[in-house]
Structure 1
Amino acid sequence: MARPRKPSASSSRPLDRLDDCRSVASPSRQITLWPDRLEETADGALVRRIAIDAIEEVRLSVEPSGIGAKDPAQIICRVSAGGKTISFSSLRSTGILKWENQADRFALFLRALHDALNAYEDVAYVEGAPLEAKLKAFLPAAAIGLAGIMLAGWAFTAGQIVIGLIGLVLGVTGGYSAWIFRPSGEKPYDPAKFG
């Protein structure tokens, strides 16, 4: 069954815009929500476009911030359809080790996106990072934790107390980080709570 089209609105005026930059090495991007589409542009050129009536999933996740950010975590939204994904976040890189917290603008943009999707019942609203993102955080943390425990074990048996204590710190830190970012199940969320 075809998805219903939302009542027509002028597609020549955007509903909202959000500036986004994931790192100092990537170009600044602009995410624009139109009545009939979501677009990502960089340096004035179209990077990706997803039709509103084709959106299959909106995923929200809390993930670690970039290096140098005052906030320990950021919220990332990934909008997916037909193998394409447009993502944007609550933090924006403004230079080397410089980040701008744009949580207020992010929340307004997210609300506008949810409002644009109100007419569609088959959009999945998912809370939690995708497995690939979780593994990128979990595996290095687990490796650091395991290496720290092995270093501590060797150092204590060799009588190297200081090195053993350093290994314990690495083991506990890596283990704790691995626990936080362990792959876990996803859960749906209610888009109305962002209204």
Structure 2
Amino acid sequence: MKLLKLTEDQLRNICSPINLQRAENYVGKFFDCKIQDNTIYGKIKGNHGIYNVSLKIDSDPLEYSCECKTSKEMFCKHAAALGLTYIYTPWVFETDEKLERDQIKTLDELSFYLKTTKLKHLIDELRTKGVGIAKLAEITGISLQQIAAILKDDENDKYHVLTDPLKLACLYIIEKDFEV
């Protein structure tokens, strides 16, 4: 899967400064986010109900759609917020495409893979190679209790500061295929 490129400069070019500033209040508050082809979609609770928002990323200027009144006249804060949400947290956008480990070529793709792969999946893969949680705890210096808490948080889509480093450690051990 190739991540669609979107920058804050693209948003600045189409959005008024005040709407871009207001958009920051909505970042991370979208739900039902998804990517289809070259368009991102999300829903957000606005002042007058739930708004469906979309942003076509590969167009110049960016094409957008929102159900708020402001969007009829200009690029609204909701469309800008959807773009900012994608820039800052692309992993919250569901996609039918999956990024396979052997397809990772960039750091952005690695970050996307880490955010969209459950820690439990990686730990299960480690177990098939004969590396248990106790050994993982010993290698990483993270206690068994902490790993259990991180696993639980990850299953509930809550991110712990050690989640990604732990996933990276798992990936390294899996990819190196160490002898046990």
Check whether TM > 0.5.
no
Compute the TM-score of the two structures, normalised by the length of structure 1. Answer: 0.24
Compute the TM-score of the two structures, normalised by the length of structure 2. Answer: 0.26
